[in-house]
Structure 1
Amino acid sequence: MVNQSNGETPSVLMVDGMALLFRAFFATSWGGAVKKNREGVPVNAVHGFLRILGDAVRRIKPTHLVCCWDLAGGSFRAEHFPEYKGNRPEAPDDLIPQFELIKTVTESFGILNVSAEGYEADDCIGTLARRFAQQSEVFILTGDHDLLQLVDERISVMIMKKGAGNYAVYTPAFLLEERNLTAAQIIDLKGLMGDTSDNYPGVRGIGEKTALKLIQEFASIDGILSNMENLPAAVRKKIEADLDMLHLSRSLATINCEAPLNVELSHCTWIVDRDRVTAICEKVEFKDALRWIG
């Protein structure tokens, strides 16, 4: 079964795989009990992943689907800043076997899995989103606000919120309305304030409130640096003391939209084989398969 868009512009749903999988795992293991199949393999994250994605599929009705993944071994960013993501805890033991299992499941659902050695899922998403937006509408499903830098007239970013089926769908207009920022300014904001989750500091002593005020006043990091004489002395001193880290943090925050991916829109056409879906759902004991395949 190929999902059709009634002859209109194709629609691509791009999935931030790890973001969904981690969210699904913690949402279904908070009580300490992790669901396992009859073979003793944990499947709670797989089930949660499919429910989250299934809801988005019913909402978007995409003609094309692709799921992007991080690979073990890190990315080029760690070569420039060895501490990058160095504060991340190890994945829970019950989640680890689900990393490869979910890829088998998504493939069985007719979804293309994509990754690139030395690049993050964000880079794969950015590369394909920009490529596909030339001929289709693109929707990115994630919990990662870094991906807001990709928002444009043909690319919407769906940020998962608490509650099933609850998303904030960011278009350029909504991003400007909610945060008074453009997509490009998301990068410069992160360059200034850093990112504790990714473990890079930005300018020490400048937090989100100050960073936001500076970006809104001077439009960009370049605008700030061109108006150093107009900054409060304390802020100017902090930026001058951390200028190299400011530039490095902005680079680390920037999604690379030139990842080496030999993937075209036609490769992501969503085709569902009912027998394959039924078989994999039986293996992972997922009982909601009919909500996917009708």
Structure 2
Amino acid sequence: MKFRVTNWAVYEAGLRRRGSLTLWVTPEALAGWRAPRRKTRGGQARYSDLAIETALTLGCVFGMRLRQIEGFMSSVLDLMGLDLPVPDHTTLSRRARTWELPARRNRPLPDGPLHVLVDSTGLKVYGAGQWLEEKHGARSRRNWRKLHLAVDANRGEIIAHRLTDQNTDDPSQMEPLLSQIDGEIDRFTADGAYDGKPAYQTILRHSSTAIVVIPPRSTAVESGDTGPPGQRDKHIAAIARNGRLKWQAATGYGKRALIETAIGRYKGLIGSRLRARSFAAQQTEVAIGCIVLNRMLACGRPESVRHQVRQA
């Protein structure tokens, strides 16, 4: 199966824009750079959440550490002639643990049917465990985090995310992911790790008319409930009757490959290892990474069509 990109000119221009160093600072951003004075007890914050987010976003885009971010922003603001204070690396480290994703960052969902793809992947955590194993053969307990993503199949954008520890199972994160999606879901696709009656119940509570495409396990049996068979029972019966490959073609399960592409895009552009050390700061790092990835995708994405090969 071969595909052909139909918008090469627009896509290439978008790829070039991703590497642009041009920064546009709006008057609203300048006015909101300093934190408003608080009326409760405690020290006064000097920088707003917008200033912290801007610094962390630049660090994510250009792969810089906190001290490098401080120096980069100082030079940029000096070149722009802006008299604004720059958060130091200690402030960035501390505020990253309390920053929360603003509701304004959630882009409106498109009109029409929403096809949601869900999957998870592992992210390495900063530490010397791997070096000790390779250098000295020492056994270490390497920890890692689990990134759960929900992707819009039509646009390829990340519409929900959640970071957990390595021991959290995938089905338990379906409800937290779906709670971040306000629109009605027309179709939901995931791999066999999400199979089970609770998963179907969670999805149908969110959108009662959603079509759920989750491959049942090889040992799955029909529920035996009275009344018309549910979606999971229909999948089990269809696989037993026609085989798993025909079931995948009939249900469009191959669309799930798009979330694998999104995960590869995240690890390729943002990275496969978390730099922050505390769990709260790691959650902030992942949230900003998803925002950056969606913005890069908005600059330009390939539009592919299946290429028909003529046989002589």
TM-score (norm 1): 0.25
TM-score (norm 2): 0.24
